[in-house]
Chain A
Amino acid sequence: MWIYDKKLQYPVKIKTPNANAAKVIVSQLGGADGELAASMRYLHQRYSVPYGEIVGTLTDIGTEELAHLEIIAAILYQLTKGLSVDEIKRAGYDTTFVDHTLGLYPASAAGVPFDMKYVGVKGDLIADLNEDLAAEQKARVTYDNILRLVDDPDVRDPIKYLRERELVHYQRFGDSLRIAQERLDAKNFYAFNPSFDRK
């Protein structure tokens, strides 16, 4: 189970609402490489994994991704709070507003709603860990692109924090892959799937 902690993992304190920034940052809420996809990916992959170190890594990184989902939501919430209809129209946020008002709906910047099709659960340790390594890099690139598009230091600061976490998670999944391979047949890593085959 999970226990709610009534604080953000990293503070978000945005002085100036900005719907233009919210329009692109929403991709990290509900886009293909966003935090919802990340948390769902790791928290669902973990069940068939036979090695405790890797189950722990998937559980703890998956849990941290839920905290990151909340940081992104806090950024979007503060960026859109108190906007007038005029400001919403001027920023082109009206296409979101018409369906969701100022509610936060997980979708990509292009408006595509979140989809579990973004998430791979192959049930094969090497395949899943390679997906996770790629996912962390893709999320890092999305954050790099957000940093190219957004100037406000109040917004950039938590985005930089989240970007850095992608690098740490990539490192931990690299350790996980090493541990998995050390326990497999060194002459043929694919000789059997430790998440399925009995040896």
Chain B
Amino acid sequence: MNENRCDLLRKVQAEDFAVYETVLYLDTHPFDRKAFEYYADHRNNVTRLRSEYSGRFGPLTIYDNTDPGAWNWVDTPFPWEKEAN
């Protein structure tokens, strides 16, 4: 995989992980302010990075088809392929 794409994917994965980990914690600690702020910060990073990633390298979800003339959901490798990682 293109080095830039791999680097950006790692950033998306890391920020997504930070959000998901905090979501699990917030489920049972909904009034923890510090955790909520951590969640909000990383959620903003996720939004920004996912939009950058899908704009440059193709969709992460079915809502990310950025090519106006074509369906590109199936063009990029599926995640179990080594080259997708």
Contact = CB atoms under 8 A, between A and B. Distances in A.
Interface residues of A, number: 31
A28 interface: no
B44 interface: no
Contacts of A179: 28
Chain B interface SS verdict (over half): helix
Interface string A63-105: 0100000100110011001000000000000000000000000
B13 A172 contact: no
A144 interface: no
A105 to B, nearest CB: 15
Given A5-B61, A13-B82, A168-B21, A56 B10 contact: no
A126 to B, nearest CB: 16
Contacts of B62: 3-4
A76 to B, nearest CB: 9
Contacts of A70: 79-80
Contacts of A64: 20, 24
A30 B76 CA distance: 28
Given A70-B79, A78-B80, A168-B21, A9 B27 contact: no
B28 A60 contact: no
Contacts of A3: 61-62
Nearest to A179: B28
A165 to B, nearest CB: 9
A147 interface: no
- Cβ-closest 3 pairs across A and B: A74-B80, A175-B28, A56-B27
Given A6-B79, A60-B20, A64-B24, 7 more contacts: A6-B76, A11-B85, A53-B28, A57-B28, A73-B80, A77-B80, A172-B25
18 contacts: A4-B62, A6-B59, A6-B61, A7-B60, A7-B84, A11-B10, A11-B13, A11-B85, A12-B85, A53-B27, A53-B28, A53-B30, A60-B23, A70-B79, A74-B80, A78-B80, A168-B24, A175-B29
